[in-house]
Structure 1
Amino acid sequence: MTLVAIGINHKTASVALREKVAFGPDILSDALRSLAAQTRTGEAVIVSTCNRTELYTNQVESEQLIHWLSQFHNLDEEELRSCLYMHTGQKAVQHLLRVSAGLDSLVLGEPQILGQIKKAFFDAREVGTIAHTLDRLFQHTFKVAKQIRTETEIGASAVSVAFAAVNLAKHIFDDLSRSRVMLVGAGETVELVARHLSEQGATDLIVANRTLARAEGMAAEFNGQAITLPQIPEHLHECDIVISSTASPLPILGKGMVENALKKRRQQAMLLVDIAVPRDIESEVADLENAYLYTVDDLQGIVQKNMKNRLQAAEQAELIAQQQSQEFVQWLRGLDSVATIKSFRTQSEELKRAALARALERLEQGADPEAVLNELANKLTNRLIHAPTQALSKAARQGDLDSLDLLRSALGINDN
């Protein structure tokens, strides 16, 4: 059996092309059925995210898949081919394991891709394009991804400024569900911070932004409260954590504003994380007692250190992926050997039944039993050794000593 994986990702194709090759929910079911029809086993899984589109199939030629993909999306085949990668057999298995573990992601070790691959598998199973081989492959993949997360530090360290800010808050306050957080700004970075906060259990959010409508949109998504920037002094004392990232050319939170908030808090500690350039929070805030100010430079240092840790963990993860891909291919080859042995036994049994039926027929006709037995033994022997004899002769004629030795070993031929 031959597993095949083809695809494009953020390393090989532009956003424009990735958008054209994507499979949205509205076309996924039809695409899976159409793709599965190209294979001899009817198996297919399509992984489609903003950073990659990949096809996983069994018993089909890579070229056929490329042609299908270009035809399905009405794209120029040569243009598509130049951005595609193709893997077969163990390389296909190892690629899927690497992708699931975040080793092929834009952010090394990010965990979201595993959930996306699980969804792709369950979507395919619901449509009916999962059979024994791909089911075993993806179940093996989920097990290995968990093993990599457990045995390495691939996902333990923050490698983005947004994630580092949230990790810092969690380290200081431990249980974020008990903390009130103010997010200043409503751009992509703050939105990412909000998502990380939500994943870490934070539920009490205030979103402050120059435009109230934008703040309301983000606050609604995370069940928070929206305010404008001028309203910050009214609410700052309520907050344990402040994370700010705006495009303002001047600081938004000054030393006096924070000092007043701390007085209202009766000097209860406040964490302030400024990930804006230029700064949103005056540097003098760090001089205040019970105000803990971290800047983007502090977080970048954390990120760089953590990235080194992830790179070391990635080496361990790569080794696990390689070993586990070999293990899966051995299982796959075992399926082939079982099928081959079954076919060989069936064929031998048919030869035996035919020869025995002929012998019994001759005995009923009164033929000499000894002659019948000799004929049975000769015919059965000739039929059983016919194919091996041809293979031995061919290997000898071609000087293929390796095949000759293998056949001698398989047939139990001993010169002694």
Structure 2
Amino acid sequence: MQHLSTHFYAIGLSYKKADAEIRGHFSLDDSRKEALLSHAKTNGIESLIIISTCNRTELYGFAEHPYQLIHLLCEHTKGTVEEFQEVAYIYKNREAIAHMFKVGSGLDSQILGDFEIISQIKASARRSKSHGLLNSYGERLVNSVIRASKRIKTETELSSGATSVSFASVQYIMNKVENISEKNILLFGTGKIGRNTCENLVKHTKNSHITLINRTKDKALEVAGKFNLIVKDFDELEEEISKTDILIVATGALNPTVHKAILNISRPLLILDLSIPKNVNTNVTDHADVSLVHMDDLAKITDDTLEKRKEFIPAAEQIIAEITDEFVAWLDTLKFVPTIQAIKHKLNDLKNSELNTLRKKNPDFNEDQAELVTSNIIQKITNQFAHHLKEDSNTVDESLELIKKIFQLEESL
């Protein structure tokens, strides 16, 4: 349970106000996430969840002031507090809860209904837990968001049709390039977006000239094996680019790996950069034959699928409202748990004092029997109070005050 002086915050930035370059400044790879969590632990933060994807970087956690979380983020990324303030959002308590539901359910995704974020949230919660940075509030909230996401997937068509950044990129290629099945396609980078793009390319273009390159060749071989594609070594990148018609870059490098100097081309080349931070230097367009498209441009491609998805927003919001209400009801019960425990403690004190008196007065006193009867009565009394507080959520604060006065509990709490 959080301390009284702390609040639950969501702080971060997303594609809505921050362009790819700024998002790149705040991007966190796995080692930076680990460092940030360790730092948070030493700073006494009790629960913290980190989300960092190509479209957003967010921290969800407890703090006395959101600046504690902003400072942690800036300390472990290239981003500055000034940059953050220009494009960021800060949500507190109920608003922060609502934001996590919106993100986890695909309603805040760059492409409406893109559910890839939910696996990130699960992985982030596991990582936080391994650092001892996931309290009961955080864990319960994440599980509630996962439940909402599953229900939205099964009960609505918010994610109908294959639409994601990887699909949008393939759709773009198919719209722009004639005779796509005969073109040479080179995919550089086989992380999650790379793998998804690869799958969509194979499925939709009927192209058998797809080559994969990845810094770690094993990963590329793994992906290629599934789809029967060609794999080349990383040091053959320049040579392979010279033979290709379409280059898709989906690497996780912190600085651009593709730039004008490595382009030795004599025919038109379409480059799609699906990386955050950007991994293609804009100087490639100094070549008259090069067209460069970034994922932010791709995400603007709206089609009938996305229009159709909008119809299901109200149904998704209804599911979120139901599960949010359950979570908030659980939170309200946390409010009165200390009071119920204090009542129990107080009644046990009265019981022990009474039993002591009886023990002294009556040598034949049946202590076990008295203990059993009085403990049962105490349990029933505290259950009555708990039931009343649960049922009467509108006046729970007044009820708590009255109970504390009657039982003189102020010192105990």
Q: Same fold (TM over 0.5)?
A: yes
Is residue 52 from structure 1 mapped to residue 56 from structure 2 by the alignment?
yes
d(CA) in 1 for partners of 2:167, 2:68: 42
Q: Quote the sequence identity (%).
A: 25
Asked if residue 8 in structure 1 is aligned to residue 13 in structure 2, the reply is yes
Pick closer, same or farther for the CA change 1:85–1:230 going to 2, 3 Å.
closer
Q: Which residue of the other structure, out of 47, 64, 68, is the alignment partner of 1:64?
A: 68
Secondary structure of the corresponding residue to residue 312 of structure 2: helix
**Alignment equivalent of 1:207, drawn from 206, 209, 221:** 209
Residues 340/151 of structure 1: CA separation in 2 closer, same or farther (3 Å cut):
same
Contact 2:336 2:400 (C-alpha < 8 Å) held by counterparts: no
Distance between the aligned counterparts of 1:161 and 1:183, measured in 2? 23
1:345–1:100: structure 2 CA closer, same or farther, 3 Å change rule?
Answer: same
Deviations 1:93-116 (A, max 9, x none): 221121112111111111221122
How many residues align? The count is 289
Change (3 A) 1:216 1:115: closer
Alpha-carbon distance between aligned partners in 2 of 1:165 and 1:135, rounded to the nearest angstrom: 35
**CA distances 1:301-347 after superposition (whole Å, capped 9, x unpaired):** x9622111111112321232233222212111212211232134435
In 1, Cα distance between equivalents of 2:61 and 2:111: 27
| AA of the residue aligned to 1:198 | E
Work out the CA distance in 1 between the residues paired with 2:35 and 2:186: 37
Counterpart CA distance in 1 for 2:244 and 2:16 is: 44
Q: Which runs of 5 or more residues in structure 1 are unaligned?
A: 168-180, 209-214, 233-246, 251-301, 365-401
Tell me the secondary structure at the aligned position of residue 82 of structure 1.
helix
The answer to whether the 8 Å contact 2:9/2:91 transfers is: yes
Match of 1:195 in 2: 196
Offset of 1:155 from its aligned partner? 0.8
Superposition pairs for residues 64-103 of structure 1, below 5 Å?
64-73=68-77, 75-103=79-107
The one-letter code matched in structure 2 to 1:329 is: V
Cα distance change on mapping 1:188 and 1:95 into 2, 3 Å:
farther
Q: Is the 8 A contact 1:165 1:193 kept in 2?
A: no
How does the TM-score come out when normalised to structure 1?
0.55
Q: Does 1:21 align with 2:23?
A: no
1:111 to 100, 115, 122: 115
The answer on whether the counterparts of 1:206 and 1:224 sit within 8 Å (CA) in structure 2 is yes
Structure 2 residues not aligned, in runs of 5+ = 172-179, 215-219, 232-239, 246-265, 270-300, 362-393, 406-413
Deviation at 1:5, TM superposition (A): 1.5
Structure 1 partner of 2:152 = 148
- Give 1:216 deviation, angstroms: 5.6
Conserved 8 A contact 2:104-2:121? yes
Structure 1 counterpart of 2:185, one-letter code: A
Q: Which residue of 1 aligns with 2:327?
A: 328
Q: For residues 337 and 195 of structure 2, what CA distance do their matches in structure 1 show?
A: 53
Which moves more between the two structures, 57-66 or 134-143?
57-66
* Structure 1 counterpart of 2:303, one-letter code: Q
User: Retained in 2: the 8 A contact 1:160–1:303?
Assistant: no
Secondary structure at 1:103 match in 2: coil
Cα deviation 1:96-147 (Å, max 9, x = unaligned): 1211121111111112211222221222223332232222221222111111
Distance 1:317 1:196 in 2: 27
For the aligned residue pairs, the C-alpha RMSD in angstroms reads 4.7
Residue aligned with 1:107, SS: coil
Separation (CA, whole Å) in 2 of partners of 1:409 and 1:146 = 40
Superposition pairs of residues 256-295 of structure 1, within 5 angstroms: none
Instruction: State which structure, 1 or 2, has the greater radius of gyration over its C-alpha atoms.
Output: 1
**What CA deviation, in whole Å up to 9, does each residue of 1:198-247 have, x standing for no partner?**
37996996116xxxxxx463996534148999999xxxxxxxxxxxxxx9
Q: Give distance in 2, aligned partners of 1:165 and 1:77.
A: 33
| Superposed displacement of residue 348, structure 1 | 6.1
Look up the match of 2:217: none
- In 2: Cα distance, 1:317 partner to 1:202 partner: 29
* Secondary structure in structure 2 of the residue aligned to 1:29: helix
Contact 2:13 2:88 in 1 (8 A): yes
